[in-house]
Each structure stands twice: as C-alpha cells, then as structure tokens.
A and B are shown apart, each in its own frame.
Chain A
Amino acid sequence: MNRTPDVEDTLRRTLRQAAGQAPGLPAEAAASQVEARYRRRRQRRQALLAGAAVVVIAGGVAGGLRAADRAADRAATVTPDATATAAVSPPVSPAVSPPVSPPVSPAQSHAPSYDVKPEPIGSVWPEALREVPAKTPDGKKIQPILLLDDRTLLVSTWASFEKTDALYAYDLDTLALREITHVVTPEGTVLFASGFDAAGGHVAWWTQLKDGTAQIWAAPLTGGEARVIGSRELDERGVDKVEIVGDRVAFSARSGGVFTVPLGGGEVEPVANGAGMHLLSWPWIGTPGPYGAGEGTRYGLIRNLRTGETDRALVRDGERVHACGVTLCVGSSGAAPFHRMRDGSQQQELPGGMARTPPALDRFHVASVRYGRHAGGVALFDLRTGASADLGIPSKRTAGGFSLMRPGFDDDGRLLAYPVGDTLRVIDVTKIK
C-alpha cells in the first residue's frame, strides 16, 4: 500500500485497537484480593504501632500549631503523591512478625521502636532532605515559609523579632536568594506580616493596624512592590489564615468569619455561610477555629463551600479529639493518642504523645520522643509505612525532662524546615516514596 498515514493518526488508531485487546479483569477476584492486601498492610502497621513503647516527653516543647491540611486537597491534584507508596510495603519488625516470617530486607529495618533512636533523616530519606545555609550572605537569619516548587523555597528575613522586612525566593540548588518584595510595615501596625501563602504567581499575607483593621497584602512572585489589596475591621485577634484561591484571596478572622478579596485589589466580601467560621483549606471552612480557647474539637464541624456538604467529626464518650483536618482527626483515649478518619474509622495509635495537628498529607507526623532513658529527640514518622527518621534536633536536659524545638509543617503539609547550627534543613515530604 502506498498510503502515508499521519503518525498521530496511526498512533490514535493503534492505541484504540490495542486497548480493545487488553486482557480482561476478573473483577470480583481483583476486588477481594485488593481488599485482602489492603487489610494485611493495615494490620501490619497496627501491630507495629501497638508493639512500640511510646514515651511522652515532659518538659517544654515548642510546637507548630498550623493546620497541615491544605496539602491534602492540593496534593491530590498537583503533587506527585500518586507515585508515593503504592509499591512500598511497610517495614516488618522482627519483634512483631509471626514466628515464621519471610526474611526482612535490611533496607527496611527502621521500624518505629521508639526506645531506639531511628536512623537520621539523611540516611532514611536522603531524597527528601536538602541542607542549605541558614543565613543570608549579610548574616541575616533565613526564615523558611513554604516551597514554591521542587527547588525553590519562599523565605523571609526579619528586621526584628517576627517583623518581616523582605521576602525571597531561595534557590536550593544554586543557593541564590532572589528578592521578591520588601515587606513594609506601615505606621500603627500592631500585628506584623504573617500567614504567607503563594499561588497563582502571587504571594499574599496579612497585617493588622492598631485600630483593628486587618490588611491583606499581595506581591507578584516574579518580583515587585507589595500592596494592600483589601482591608477589613476585625477584633484585636487578627486573621487565622490566608489562602490564594484562583484570582481571589480568602481569609478568616480568629474571631470567626470567612471573607474573600480580589487578588488585584478591591472590596472585601464575606463568604455566604461563612459567618463565625474559619478557613480550613478552600473550599472547606469549619469551626471551632485554630486559635480558639481550646474548647471542643478544632474543625470538628466543617463545611464545603462548593457543595454545601457538612461533616461533624465523631467524638465518643471518654475520649478527646483535639483537632481535625478535611480527612483525619487526632485525639486521645485515656493516655493513648490516636489518629483516625473523621467518622471514627481506621483508628490507629499515633506515635509520640498528644498531637495538636492532624498528620500532614494524611501521612506524616512529627513528634518529640524519648530515645532510651537519657535522650530525647524529634522524629518524623511515615504513618503509612511505619518508617521513621530522626530529625537531628538537639535536646537539652531540664529538671522535668527534655526541652527541644519541634518544627511544624507549613500550611501545605509539605515542608519541614529548621535550622541546625548554621545549616537550614529543608525536608520536602512529597519526595518520600
């Protein structure tokens, strides 16, 4: 034949034809085998957690209080989470395996037995760790905020304690710091710039003036002047969250109330059904908010602004559920901390004492733990596989126990960043497969 079909055309036809020749799927068998395998994985993980001695550390622990839930939403669509773990089975600890067990791969020996210090993060998940200078060339401390992409960290510098004076894009490969904008603090500002979020080519944050006016700011990530895009009078507690959503910026007041303002500047408008509510992770809002008096389950009630769906997290008699995200809750029953689905299902023990934030990306948890009798540290746990790693954060012995700084995840639930000496450790948990 002499026809010269277009390659794209042939390709389309070929793929369609080939698809028609695909092997069949024994659906019933497939579903039940997947179900069985899923349960086996879960049981193994539960056995691991149940078998581990979890010791709560006394002493001062500074913890991040940020909700790590936005990531759950975003990750499902934009981060490479889907490649993450389907192929990785949880580590098997010899201590809790059945007597006749298959040989355990040495690479999987970092089971969470917390009386033994886990291996350092650099050897457990080297792919997730970057180490960069913690100071600018002129000696200012770099404050990590969030990851703009795989290799770029949004950071700030402070003029004085918590008073941000500039935002930079920190290239983790070349170590170049590119200034994004000066953060001006107008006369009369009482709450300095905070709550940074970046999306859609912009970075946004809030400040508050003495008279109670909250100001929402934005600047282009490519660099440029920061400007106030909207203001709203709130009570003295300020704003609890800012999130860029398409061409608007959503935010909520610590005293309750969800609002949006155009990214390009304009009127601040209250969100329908947002009165008294707090922004969890757009389109989810909820109550009570993250800065409440500690009564009730934070985000125990949530509502989806798009679909109107509401959900109240299950709390059984005799247990405390401290906080929930869109998917998971953390709480404690007696002295045993747990994490589970909002509806109370899939409850599992949470390593390392009481937690105030649900696992990041529904999977990662940071906890201070005691290693043996005389040392403490901070470990990152992969709740899905049971693996854990020591973050290399030094602890100080105090009269009551240990004192250490525990880093918190960013709002995306993707980034853990903390200084160790002159080095800034940057951990991107989405790199953990």
Chain B
Amino acid sequence: MDGDARFAEFVAERGEALMRYGYVLAGNPHDAADLVQEALLKVRAAWPRLRSKDNPESYARTTMARLHIAAWRRRRREQLTWEPPDREHRDALPSGDERAMWLALSGLPRKQRAVLVLRYYEQLDDAEIAKVLGVSRGTVRSQASRALDKLRAAVPAEWSAVGEGAR
C-alpha cells in the first residue's frame, strides 16, 4: 500500500476523533474544521517520517493545539475547501451548568483554553501539556489556575439561572 492510501486510511480512521478534539479546542465547528485541515496537511507533508517514527495522531493533536494558540488564522493563505455539515447546536448542551461552562470557556484566552482541554479532555499531566504547547510546566500550572478561577467566577453555584439567562 502506498503512502497516499495509508494517509487516506488514517484520515478515515482518526478524522472524527480529531474533529471532536478540534471542536473542544476551538469552540466552533468552522475553526475546528480549519484546525483539522491544517493539521492533516502537515501530517501529510511529514507522512513518510511519521509513519515510521512517530505517531501521526499525536503529531496532529500537538499541531492543532499549537496552531490554536498561535492565532494562526491571520496567516492563512488558503481557504477551507470542505464545509463541515451544519448541525443543530441548540440542543447540544442541554443542561444548564454545561451550557454555562461552554459559554464561559469561549471567554478564555486561547492558551488557557488549550491548557484546560489538554488537561481535562485529553487527560494529559502538566509535564505532557508543557511539552505539547512548548511552554514551561510553571506556565501550564499558572494558566490552568487562572482559567479555573475565571470559570469558577463565570459558572457560579447557582448555575441554572446563569445557564438559562445566557440563552
């Protein structure tokens, strides 16, 4: 099987998982799709090396996290060529505290959000997060603690009122 076919296979197998990750990182479907596309392009370019030495999925995930915090969209030259299918998001997060949390997440700086996603969605420890983002462990800790403080403030105990009110 040649490299192209294996790459296509990789996309078929892991594409959805990357989209899920992109979605929690970026917070909206369009940026998620862009992140995945850029990451896949990079994976494709490095494919011969990745296939033999590294794990393409972890490479893609690292790339996505870094792209996300690098405010990379400003540099983008080529436009998205596939459109993610539109889904109805109104019912996506039906319960109040999760909705409030999701909204609060969108108010975080990119790096803080990335740290939280890596810690609570990817379940990486701080050393691993530091490696993925190319920052120090101290930065990871301080970003996480600042982000959690903000979330605590934004998603108070009386979450349901906030959640409904935000709608």
Spell out A's residues near B (CB within 8 Å).
1-2, 4-5, 7-8, 10-35, 37-38, 41, 72-73, 76-80, 82-83, 85-89, 309, 326-327, 341, 343, 345-346, 362, 384, 433
Contact A14 B84 (CB under 8 A): no
- Give min CB distance, B156 to chain A, whole Å: 9
Contact B48 A341 (CB under 8 A): yes
Contact A23 B77 (CB under 8 A): no
Chain B positions 67 through 80: 1 when the CB is less than 8 Å from some CB of chain A, otherwise 0: 10010110111100
Q: Which listed residue, A8, A22, A26, A345, touches B32 by the CB 8 Å rule?
A: A22
Contact B11 A34 (CB under 8 A): yes
Contact B62 A21 (CB under 8 A): no
Contact B23 A28 (CB under 8 A): no
Contact B12 A23 (CB under 8 A): no
Given contacts A1-B159, A10-B159, A87-B67, 8 further A-B contacts (CB under 8 A): A7-B148, A11-B151, A13-B98, A18-B24, A27-B11, A80-B134, A86-B63, A327-B49
- Residues in chain B near residue A10, CB distance under 8 A: 97-98, 101, 155, 159
Q: Which listed residue, B8, B33, B159, touches A31 by the CB 8 Å rule?
A: B8
Residues B18-46 near A (CB distance < 8 A):
18-24, 29, 32-33, 36-42, 44-45
| Bound Cα distance A22, B151 (Å) | 22
- Residues in chain A near residue B160, CB distance under 8 A: 1
| Bound Cα distance A85, B116 (Å) | 25
Contact A87 B93 (CB under 8 A): no
Known contacts A19-B21, A38-B41: does B63 contact A82 (CB below 8 Å)? yes
- Give min CB distance, A183 to chain B, whole Å: 29
B105 interface hit (Cβ, 8 Å)? yes
Q: How many contacting A-B pairs (Cβ < 8 A)?
A: 187
Spell out B's residues near A (CB within 8 Å).
4, 7-8, 11-12, 15-16, 18-24, 29, 32-33, 36-42, 44-45, 48-49, 52-54, 59, 62-63, 66-67, 70, 72-73, 75-78, 81-82, 84-87, 89, 92-93, 96-98, 101-102, 105, 116-117, 120-121, 131, 134, 148, 151-152, 155, 157, 159-160
Known contacts A15-B121, A23-B33, A82-B62: does B41 contact A37 (CB below 8 Å)? yes
Known contacts A23-B33, A31-B11, A31-B12: does B63 contact A14 (CB below 8 Å)? no
Contact B42 A82 (CB under 8 A): yes
User: Which of chain B's residues has its CB closest to A284's CB?
Assistant: B53
Contact A14 B87 (CB under 8 A): no
- Residues in chain A near residue B49, CB distance under 8 A: 72, 76, 326-327, 362
Mostly helix, strand, loop or mixed at chain A's interface? helix
Q: List 14 A-B contacts (CB under 8 A).
A: A1-B96, A18-B24, A18-B93, A21-B93, A34-B40, A34-B41, A38-B44, A76-B54, A76-B59, A77-B131, A82-B59, A83-B134, A88-B77, A309-B52
| Bound Cα distance A28, B72 (Å) | 25
- Residues in chain A near residue B89, CB distance under 8 A: 21
| Bound Cα distance A425, B21 (Å) | 41
| Bound Cα distance A78, B89 (Å) | 37
Known contacts A11-B151, A83-B70, A345-B48: does B40 contact A23 (CB below 8 Å)? no
- Residues in chain A near residue B84, CB distance under 8 A: 23-25
Contact B20 A33 (CB under 8 A): no
Known contacts A86-B42, A89-B78: does B24 contact A28 (CB below 8 Å)? no
